[in-house]
A and B are shown apart, each in its own frame.
Chain A
Amino acid sequence: MIDVLNAIVAFLNFVFIPAAAYGSQLALGALGVTLIYGILRFSNFAHGDTMSFGTMVVILFTWAFQSWGISLGPLPVALLALPLGIVITALMVLASDKVVYSYYRRVKAKPIVLVMASIGVMFVLNGVVRLIIGPSDQRFADGERFIINAREFKEWSGLAEGLALKTTQGITVVTAAIVVAILFWFLNRTRTGKSMRAYSDNEDLALLSGINPERVVMITWIIVAALATIAGTLYGLDKVFKPFTYFQLLLPIFAAAIVGGLGSPLGAIAGGFVIAFSEVMVTYAWKKVVTYLVPENLEPSGLLQLLSTDYKFAVSFAILVIVLLFRPTGLFRGKSV
């Protein structure tokens, strides 16, 4: 019995909690991608670097606040810097829309042209971020490190396995839940949100109804900037900020959005968790959990790790290919926001 409990705790500690936090981060990122896809009708390759830009701004403000001696007690100061980061990132994406994308909308370029343009924006942002903050790792988490400490948990429960819940993981899941709730309320209950869904559904009819496309596009960019900054900051708090990692995050984020069904916000969230849990579960060494569950003589000799963590991106892609083969529109049949 104790062994089963130990196995569950080990599973929660090494698989469930990290995957839930990572899944929330991916879901927020995928929501941004799916909104752009639904309304501007192209896949925004610059999304990873928008996240990195937003996080960089948050980090810079966090450092400023820290140097002024501002503290949020157990919570990281980055949460205080987040709104400022969102505002600046929103201004940056609106500027990039003005300078780059609005032209292609005016000449009614095919969406594929916008995709290519977004790759250009991606490279530019990539460079800008590295110029400003440098290419190396930046840590900016402060405050309390753990909500549940592994050692205290062991003493409290008397189990051999410890359960750790980092503050950043808790914040990630809670923030993601709040953001998603607000986003869905906005899209389904407010006039502006509904007009965004209407525009995504049927451009012609939206025009006939007097919906202004440029306004819809502007609001979409602002929301996407907010989602990207929040997702990036949460990822940076939970792990570490490094521009190149954020660029690579594009892969699981796109996999999540496509697996869920591009254009479907619900799908983006589901996709985020599907990708995160598969990545963590496939690359986790199950030896510890299995050892608790099987009789002693059946104890595995290997690590029971399906793939080394170096291959985690391969997992996203494998899932992506499988879903596209068997359900090309994604789990949630994405077509429109």
Chain B
Amino acid sequence: MSDAYGDRGNKDRSITKESKASMQPGPQHGEAHPAPGGPFLIGDTMTGGYGSGPDILHECTIAVDEGEIAVIVGPNGAGKSTAMKALFGMLDVRAGHVRLAGQDITELTPQDRVKQGMGFVPQTQNIFTSMTVEENLEMGAFIRTDDIRPTMEQVYDLFPILKEKRYQAAGELSGGQRQQVAVGRALMTRPKVLMLDEPTAGVSPIVMDELFDRIIEVARTGLPVLMVEQNARQALEIADKGYVLVQGRNAHTGTGKELLADPEVRQSFLGG
């Protein structure tokens, strides 16, 4: 009762509309500085947590280079999604740096990072359900002022099913198709790096394989892809680089094959 902005009476949907907004941008609101060298995108020894809460990441390093697929795996609660959110500026990064294409972007807001070329696909609610597939793609390209047709054609080439369903509301599509819309939307900004937060969450194994194929195709165009995955084995199979996080720390790092072959990784995360 004492909380003036509390939740009392807030569940009545005939008076208020619930907001599913969950993204809390970090406190950053600065500028980018030149910082040449190093991988294309790197979160360098990042330490930080949400708001004024405790540190979740501890000197965690995640990097991805051009044409590569980097995968973050690890047990539940290891801070996989948190590491990605740190790269995207939705965390209070108290130590360490984030660099993208020779720029130190540690102090940028998430929106400014989108403008710098980061494409981010959230794990859930990653499409505009009430809008058509084509409108979803258009909204993805909102910050662009040039002709978006060619990019849209590229997305349709990559995901032919979307072209078929371009005038259908995205919310009516199946889980796998929705994920394609979500990835397509992120590609519309013509990002320099694509970040996917569990793209295969909640889709069937067949659809998952197809999605992975598409992600490989995207990476082959030279676009670096960084993703968080629950299905560690499949993800590491397609990964050029793998990061195993445990409790917010880098536990193992290596190529996908190395990690798959590592007995310790196999035993603890891949079920033998």
* A41-B17, A262-B17 as given contacts; A113 in contact with B5, CB under 8 Å: yes
Q: Which residues of B contact A200 (CB under 8 A)?
A: 130
Question: Which residues of the partner chain A approach B189 to less than 8 Å between Cβ atoms?
Answer: 209-210
Q: Does A145 contact B (CB under 8 A)?
A: no
Asked whether any CB of chain A lies closer than 8 Å to the CB of B8, the reply is yes
**Contact between B16 and A198 (Cβ–Cβ < 8 Å)?**
no
Among B7, B9, B17, B122, point to the contact of A208 (Cβ < 8 A): B122
A217 to chain B minimum Cβ distance, whole angstroms, is: 13
A-B contact count, CB below 8 Å? 117
Q: Tell me, yes or no, whether A132 is within 8 Å of chain B by CB.
A: no
Are B17 and A211 in contact, with the CB atoms below 8 A? no
Q: Is the CB of B17 within 8 A of A263?
A: yes
Do the beta carbons of B15 and A201 come within 8 Å of each other?
Answer: no
| Residue from the set B15, B122, B125, B135 with the largest chain A CB neighbour count within 10 Å | B15
Segment at the interface with B among A20-28, A67-75, A103-111: A103-111
> Known contacts being A110-B10, A209-B185, is A42 close to B131, with CB within 8 Å?
no
Cross-chain contact A41 with B122 (CB below 8 angstroms)? no
8 Å CB interface, B1-49 against A: 4-10, 12-23
* Known contacts A112-B16, A197-B130; A209 and B7 CB within 8 A of each other: no
Selected contact of A41 from candidates B19, B22, B135, B185, CB within 8 Å: B19
Does A310 make an interface contact (CB < 8 A)? Answer: no
Please indicate the chain B residues that have their CB under 8 angstroms from the CB of A197 in the complex: 128, 130-131, 135
B166 to chain A, nearest CB (A): 14
Interface presence of A202 (CB below 8 A): yes
B120 contacts A210, CB within 8 Å? no
What is the bound-complex CA distance between A206 and B20, given in angstroms? 12
Least Cβ–Cβ distance between A334 and chain B, in angstroms: 9
Question: Counting CB contacts under 8 A, is B269 at the interface?
Answer: no
CB contact under 8 A between A210 and B115, given known A110-B6, A258-B14: yes
A204 at the interface (CB under 8 A from B): yes
Cβ–Cβ contact A201 & B129, under 8 A: yes
Name the interface size band of chain A.
35 or more
With contacts A37-B17, A211-B139 known, is A202 near B8, CB below 8 A? no
**Does chain A have a CB within 8 A of B154?**
no
Q: Say whether A43 contacts B15, CB under 8 Å.
A: yes
Q: How far is the CA of A201 from the CA of B19 in the complex (A)?
A: 9
Give A265 Cβ to nearest chain B Cβ, in Å: 12
* Other-chain residue from A114, A195, A336 in contact with B142 (beta carbon distance below 8 A): A195
In the complex, the chain B residue whose C-beta lies closest to that of A111 is: B16
Q: Does B152 reach chain A (CB closer than 8 Å)?
A: no
Q: Say yes or no: is B143 at the interface (Cβ < 8 Å to chain A).
A: yes
Bound Cα distance A207, B110 (Å): 8
Question: Considering the chains assembled together, what is the distance between the CA atoms of A324 and B14 in angstroms?
Answer: 9
Interface status of B234 (Cβ within 8 A of chain A): no
Which chain A residues lie closer than 8 Å to B151 at the CB level? none
Whole-angstrom CA separation of A206 from B130 in the bound complex: 13
Contact residues in A for B20 (Cβ distance below 8 Å)? 202-204
User: CA separation between A38 and B142, bound complex, in Å?
Assistant: 20
Please tell me if the beta carbons of B17 and A202 are within 8 angstroms of each other in the complex: no
Q: SS class of chain A's interface: helix, strand, loop or mixed?
A: helix
Residues of B within 8 A of A112 (CB): 7-10, 12, 15-16
Asked if B253 lies at the interface with its beta carbon under 8 angstroms from chain A, I say no
Cβ–Cβ < 8 Å partners of A198 in chain B: 128, 131, 135, 139, 142
Q: Report whether B122 and A205 are in contact in the complex, using a CB–CB cutoff of 8 Å.
A: yes
Please give the distance in Å from A321's CB to the nearest CB on chain B.
Answer: 11
Q: Confirm or deny: A130 has a beta carbon within 8 angstroms of a beta carbon on chain B.
A: no
User: Complex Cα distance A108/B60, Å?
Assistant: 31
Cα–Cα distance between A109 and B5 once the two chains are bound (Å): 5
B14 touches A194 (CB 8 A): no
Taking a contact as CB atoms under 8 Å apart, the answer to whether A203 and B140 are in contact is no
Contact A202 B129 (CB under 8 A): yes
**B17 contacts A38, C-beta separation under 8 Å:** yes
- A41-B139 in contact given A205-B126, A210-B111 (Cβ < 8 Å): no
A206 closest partner in B (C-beta):
B139
Tell whether, in the assembled complex, residue B122 and residue A107 are in contact, meaning their CB atoms are under 8 Å apart: no
Cβ-based interface call for A335 (8 A): yes
Q: Mark A168-206, 1 if CB is under 8 A from B, else 0.
A: 000000000000000000000001001101101111111
28 A-B pairs, CB-CB below 8 angstroms? A38-B17, A41-B19, A42-B17, A109-B5, A110-B16, A111-B19, A112-B8, A112-B9, A112-B10, A112-B16, A195-B139, A197-B130, A197-B135, A202-B20, A202-B127, A202-B128, A203-B19, A205-B127, A206-B139, A207-B111, A208-B111, A209-B185, A210-B111, A210-B115, A210-B143, A211-B142, A262-B17, A336-B130
Give the interface of A toward B (CB within 8 A).
Answer: 37-38, 41-43, 107-115, 191, 194-195, 197-198, 200-211, 258, 262-263, 324, 328, 335-337
